[in-house]
């Protein structure tokens, strides 16, 4: 077989320039989230196939990279389906592995447990521009905290981080799965079909209100229910409140008797705490159209939207029923994931300059220098390196001018030349 | 299928305490190597199967985790062997992916290119204590530098790093594949069988000189050649020079006419440069018994040995022929890989204390606090977090004493309590 230069289909090599921005981001993420008391942890990239295929991952389960069994020779003749050949796969997100991790290590972890994860995940999506089959995810989760202190801290930590990365004018949209459920019930959708309704409602930003209406009706839902549901949006809009806090009181009344007691008050408390504590230039907004795809959410859901770019850069929610599938005991859980790759893309497009980058100095020495003198030059470099400066020691090229220009394009701003002759004096 | 709590076979969950040491190490690695002018890069964890199976990986190729093809449905009936089902696998090291990366991106990379890689690799080894199927590797490589400035800088960067991580009294053992070849030729081994001889010689530290002798003879090599080869070691030993620099001159004479001109002088130059520049408490030693397993080495080879632990914590060498297999043009290449997992294990066993860790403060508030007051408490925490302090905001437990003791065991040294009553005043 001949060798292949390109990376594996849909994956990418990361060049030094992008890597510097990624490393800067990673260090800001660590510093910021750790200051909020989150502990950095890691799970293996490879996960049991039975965990990956346990209906916690929605559409992503179709995209799993499966890993061939090792050890005994594979029995290809008797294998009837893919899963006879595999016992593991690459993780498609960090949430399911976290639930496994927590159930495995609960006894030695603090309660509540605040986890920070940064790691690659893999999805075998059709390769397309800007979408990769391996990409970094970066999640914070609070496990074991039933109250809205979890949501408040997650939102504040995420917005503080984004603001430190120079993001401004973003909005945190928040909603509640229980409000969505109550709204569908109020409108007259069958209670056992809410999941199907949510999947269609989730397309709102892609196909618009009219598209969603058509889609719902095409899927056999009653036109009356559809009209009544969408009517709520018009009524909320007419309240003319940009952050939609008024809509919460409106819905509390409208859904009274249907919605679980305290759900809307809980959301209002999050607004008060976040708005009192927040330092980032951002706005918290109640968005009744927000659904978020994953089936595992049980309560609050939220997303960070960049107003100027009209895209989401972070999202999360409460999923109180996932850990119980491992342990048998439900554990409150709430997470916020930033779109690491999208953030990097935006920073690269904006020509983000890393603040306080180290000084870069190049020591160039003439060819033919004896090895003791080379050692002394490197020793001189070491002293500067020890002060935190970046010092490249290299042989001088014939075309020194071109060499220096190239080094300047790599950020070297200072040069020191060493000639064989100097030594003789 | 029921869910599994344990990690995938042979892999491990990393707990917060270990992760702190890992993160500290990673940041020291980045800082130190970047100060030497190395650029951090990344390749995908998944690599083309034809690259992984191209005889660059020695024994490791038997241990590849193979990834099932995606896209079209697998044709299980017609598949005759594993490789009919796969087109990629998990990388087993970082060297082969680096050679592919360089051949793919050469046009936009500096020349010479100094690369730093930190990433997981996977090997399906038989699970055993302390050996994992997923582990971190950390490599520095200099590509495009034919001279011994490459070796000198790699050795100085690695020893500087180890010394910053508080390792002392270690030895850098160095040898040259060309010396090894000349020694086997001198002893009378057939020139086309040196690879087989090297594999056996590499067992020296496991089975001793006598074991190696027996093994060579059992494999059909002449007893005369074996005796003559081993005799060289006795002669070198009799020179009574702990760093074996005298042995270099001795071999230069002994192997004259067999060994390529300049090989031993090149090694001596490395000694002079390294010994002039080095700042770490370590010793460079010529070790004629050092072989290093990988078949791809073409020149110098080296290893860092911890005297007290009698184990190797880093290793590398020159491999001038690998990149040419991708590009058609040989490119000088030289690397040094630290045994990241072993280093972490040693640091954990030694109870390594991270210098200058951030202050950890816990804000505990009584239950029943209203959400505005919670917001104000978090805002007070934010100010401290912004100063680099770690502040946990948590609800007070009924047993506050126990809660504080637990937090103290997690490193929280300062506490501030907030009561509902205080607000009323």
DSSP string, B166-235: T--SEEEEEEEHHHHHHHHHHHT--GGGHHHHHHHHTTHHHHHHHHHHHHHHHTT--HHHHHHHHHHHHH
Report the sign of the C-alpha dihedral through residues B104, B109, B111, B117, in that order: negative
Cβ A16–B41 below 8 Å, yes or no?
yes
Chosen for mutation from A1, A2, A3, A99 (greatest number of chain B CBs closer than 10 Å) is A3
Contact check, Cβ <8 Å, B35/A358: yes
How confident is residue B252, by pLDDT bands cut at 50, 70 and 90? Answer: very high
B320-373 pLDDT, tens digit per residue, is: 999 999 999 999 999 999 999 999 999 999 999 999 888 999 999 999 999 999
Between B195 and B250, the more confident residue is: B250
Which residues, at least 6 apart from A318, have a Cβ–Cβ distance to it below 8 Å? A150, A151, A297, A298, A299, A300, A301, A332, A333, A334
**Chain A residues within an 8 Å CB radius of B80:** 76
Burial class (CB in 10 A: 0-12, 13-18, 19+), B44: buried
Average pLDDT for residues B373-399, to the nearest whole number? 95
Chain B residue with CA closest to A388: the answer is B35
**How far off is chain B from A407, nearest CA to CA, in Å?**
8
**CA nearest B23 in A: which residue?**
A40
pLDDT of the residue at A76: 72
Banded pLDDT at A122 (limits 50, 70, 90)? very high
CATH 3.40.50 intervals, chain A = 360-424
H or E element in which residue A337 lies: strand A333-338
* Residue from A273, A377, A406 to probe the interface with B (highest B Cβ count within 10 Å): A273
Which residue does chain B place closest to A389, by CA atoms? B35
CA distance A147 to B232: 74
* Mean pLDDT of the residues in chain A: 93
Of B16, B326, B410, the CB nearest to A3: B326
Listed in sequence order, the residues at least 6 apart from B110 whose beta carbon sits closer than 8 Å to its beta carbon are: A406, A407, A410, B39
Q: What percent of chain A has pLDDT over 90?
A: 82
pLDDT tens readout for residues B256-308: 999 999 999 999 999 999 999 998 888 999 999 999 988 899 999 999 999 87
The CA distances from residue A241 to A265, A286, B84, B182, B269, in Å, are 18, 10, 60, 84, 76
Cis preceding linkage at A112, omega within 30: yes
Give B11's contacts in chain A (Cβ within 8 Å).
44, 46
Where does chain B hold its CATH 3.30.930.10 domain(s)? 16-169+307-349
Over range B42-59, report the average pLDDT. Answer: 92
Say whether pLDDT at B424 is over 80. no
- Which of A145, A61, A330, A46 has the alpha carbon at shortest distance from B13? A46
Q: Is the pLDDT of residue B170 over 70?
A: yes
Which stretches does DSSP call E strand in B202-332? 282-286, 300-306, 311-318
Question: What integer pLDDT is reported at residue A425 of this predicted model?
Answer: 42
* Residue B325 forms contact with A (CB below 8 Å): yes
Contacts of residue A41 in chain B, CB cutoff 8 Å?
Answer: 13-16, 19
Closest Cα of chain B to A216: distance in Å?
Answer: 30
Among A79-93, A173-187, A248-262, A339-353, the minimum mean pLDDT is found in A79-93
Q: In chain B, count of helices (H) and strands (E)?
A: 15, 14
3-state secondary structure of B63: helix
Q: How many CB atoms lie within 10 A of CB B324?
A: 14
For domain B360-424, give the fold.
Rossmann fold (3.40.50)
CATH for B16-169+307-349 (3.40.50.300, 2.60.120.10, 3.30.70.600, 3.30.930.10): 3.30.930.10
- In chain B, positions 178-237, which contact chain A (CB-CB < 8 Å)? none
Please say if the pLDDT value at position B76 is more than 90. no
Average pLDDT, chain B: 93
* C-beta of residue A153 within 8 angstroms of C-beta of residue A337: no
Whether pTM > 0.90 for this model: the answer is yes
Q: What is the ipTM of this complex?
A: 0.94
The length of chain B, given as a count of residues: 425
Q: Which of residues 78-117 of A touch B (CB under 8 A)?
A: 79-82, 85-88, 90, 100-101, 103-105, 108-110, 112, 114
User: Are A13 and B37 within 8 A, CB to CB?
Assistant: no
A274 touches chain B (CB under 8 A): yes
């Amino acid at each position: 077989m001949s060798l292949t230069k390109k990376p594996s289909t849909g994956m990418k090599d990361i060049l030094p320039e992008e890597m510097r921005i990624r490393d800067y981001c990673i260090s800001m993420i660590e510093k910021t989230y750790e200051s909020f008391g989150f502990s950095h942890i890691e799970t293996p990239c490879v996960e049991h196939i039975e965990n990956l295929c346990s209906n916690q991952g929605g559409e992503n389960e179709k995209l799993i990279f499966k890993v061939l069994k090792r050890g005994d020779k594979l029995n290809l003749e008797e294998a009837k389906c893919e899963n006879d050949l595999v016992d593991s796969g690459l993780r498609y997100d960090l949430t399911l592995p976290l639930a496994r991790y927590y159930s495995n290590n609960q006894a030695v972890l603090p309660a509540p447990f605040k986890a920070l994860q940064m790691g690659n995940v893999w999805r075998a999506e059709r390769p397309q521009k800007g979408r990769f089959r391996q990409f970094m995810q970066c999640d914070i989760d609070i496990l074991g905290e039933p109250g809205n202190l979890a949501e408040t801290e997650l939102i504040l930590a995420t917005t503080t981080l984004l603001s430190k990365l120079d993001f401004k004018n973003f909005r945190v949209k928040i909603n509640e799965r229980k409000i969505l459920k109550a709204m569908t019930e109020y409108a007259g959708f069958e209670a056992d079909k809410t999941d199907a309704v949510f999947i269609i409602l989730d397309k709102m930003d892609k196909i618009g209100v009219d598209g969603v209406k058509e889609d719902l009706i095409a899927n056999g839902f009653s036109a009356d229910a559809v009209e009544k549901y969408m009517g709520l949006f018009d009524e909320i809009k007419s309240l003319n409140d940009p952050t939609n806090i008024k809509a919460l009181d409106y819905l509390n009344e409208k859904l009274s008797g249907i919605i679980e007691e305290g759900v809307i008050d809980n959301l209002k408390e999050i607004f008060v705490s976040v708005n009192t504590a927040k330092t980032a230039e951002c706005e918290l907004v109640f968005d009744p159209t927000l659904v978020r795809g994953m089936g595992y959410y049980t309560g609050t859901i939220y997303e960070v939207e960049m107003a100027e770019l009209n895209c989401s850069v972070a999202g999360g929610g409460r999923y109180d029923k996932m850990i119980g599938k491992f342990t048998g005991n439900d554990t409150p859980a709430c997470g916020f994931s930033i779109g690491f790759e999208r953030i990097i893309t935006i920073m690269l497009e904006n020509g983000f300059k890393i603040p306080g980058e180290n000084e870069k100095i190049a020591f160039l020495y003439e060819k033919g220098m004896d090895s003791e003198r080379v050692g002394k030059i490197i020793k001189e470099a070491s002293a500067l390196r020890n002060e935190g400066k970046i010092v490249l020691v290299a042989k001088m090229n014939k075309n020194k001018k071109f060499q220096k220009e190239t080094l300047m394009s790599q950020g070297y701003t200072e040069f020191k030349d060493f000639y064989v002759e100097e030594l003789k004096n």
